[in-house]
Amino acid sequence: MKHTTCPNCFSNKVEDFYTIKNAPVHSLVTVQSYEEAMSVEKKDIALAFCDNCGFIFNSSFDTSIDYYTKGYEDQQGFSPTFVKFLTGISQKFIDRYDLYNKDIIEIGCGKGDFISLISELGNNNGIGIDPAWVPGRTKQSEKVRFIKEFYSKKHGDLKADCICCRHTLEHIHDTGNFLKTIRDSVQGNNNVIVFMEIPSIVRILKIQAFWDIFYEHSTYLSPGSLARLFRQNKFEVLDMYIEYDDQYLFIEAKPVDKISEKIHPLEESVDELKELTKVFTKKITHQLGDWRDKLIQYKSEKKKVVIWGGGSKSVGFLTNFNDIGVIEHVVDINPHMTGNYIPGIGIQYKSPEFLADYKPDVVIIMNGVYKNEIGKMIHDMGVDPELLCL
């Protein structure tokens, strides 16, 4: 099905600007055999731009597919670098809004790392809501409970001083109605703080980060398009900021009774964002060509090339280059990924310890934020490959 209406503002002023052919529809689902991995359906990604609000989305996204209830594996808490970042961000947020001894809800809580952390740091009562939550994957606490289902208006009956939603909105196609659901659920409670974190499309466009474009992400937001989405649903933007090497966009907002006219300094205009899409389409062919040449050269030199960092980024990367056949292994620190196969790609995930015997010549790190952490782990194994960071 082709979506010709903007899911953010419901305008019909949308047009495609970039297409990726034959992308696996899953990237974070755990697949236990090569045959199952290769049977995962592939579909085209068509990035579209809304000339009315600046929203970017996959206009070919299939909303009928079950993306989240079949062994979804997205836990990042095995990395010390990430835990330090998440703890710092959480503590600042708690202090800013005095979120101590309060009631916190997280929509799309994953395995529960964040709701458990923010509850522990602020002595808060936490509720995590997610159909992909798995019992036993986080430390048990009397202060935290989980609801294994999708968030809906009925959850407005739950007491909440704060509603958090981290790395979930980018997976939701119907963003306008999703924000409306949250707004409806907090009707009459204008003191609630809403806190969201999503990838920033601005960075993706500026550096042509094709590895951050994959099928499970139907939605790509910028400061401007995100703020406009919140305002049209009667939220006032309290603050926005970008963290983690410009990868993650944060927004803090509160409900208001009429549409806010408050504009945040971080917001770009629709025209400015559209100009970035033109830069992206102009430069992406060159970016992909350089990587293809590099990988073909590695293959001709019979070098052992490994990707470090499983999940979505590796799927986004390999969708473009798996046909070359130079990358045989993908490493990830998450032990729950080890032994599974990459959907649509068929490469098996290995644990980091695998590299001690394999001795790769090149390791391509899917997220450069982790270069020091990964570099030390590799060095401690007595391995000294060339490290390339995305």
Q: Please tell me the distance from the alpha carbon of residue 130 to that of residue 109, in angstroms, as a whole number.
A: 6
- The Cα 97–Cα 93 span in angstroms is 6
The pLDDT confidence band at residue 67, using thresholds 50, 70 and 90, is confident
Domain at 300-389: CATH architecture: 3-Layer(aba) Sandwich (3.40)
Output b/e per residue, 13-35; b: 16+ Cβ within 10 A: ebeebbebeebbbbbbbbbeeee
pLDDT digits (tens, 9 = 90+) for 21-35: 999 999 988 899 999
Helix, strand or coil, per DSSP, at residue 201: helix
Report the sign of the C-alpha dihedral through residues 44, 45, 49, 50, in that order: positive
The ranges assigned to domains in the chain are 300-389
- What is the rounded average pLDDT of the residues 116-139? 92
Contact of 316 with 210, CB cutoff 8 Å: yes
C-alpha distances (whole Å) from 298 to each of 146, 239, 291, 293 are 47, 46, 11, 9
Residues 6+ apart with CB under 8 A from 98: none
Single pTM value for the model: 0.96
Calculate mean pLDDT across residues 90-117: 97
Question: At what angle are helices 80-96 and 371-380 packed, to 10 degrees?
Answer: 150
Q: Is the pLDDT of residue 146 over 90?
A: yes
pLDDT at 72 over 70: no
Residues 6+ apart with CB under 8 A from 203: 209, 242, 246, 247
For 128, the enclosing helix (H) or strand (E) is strand 125-129
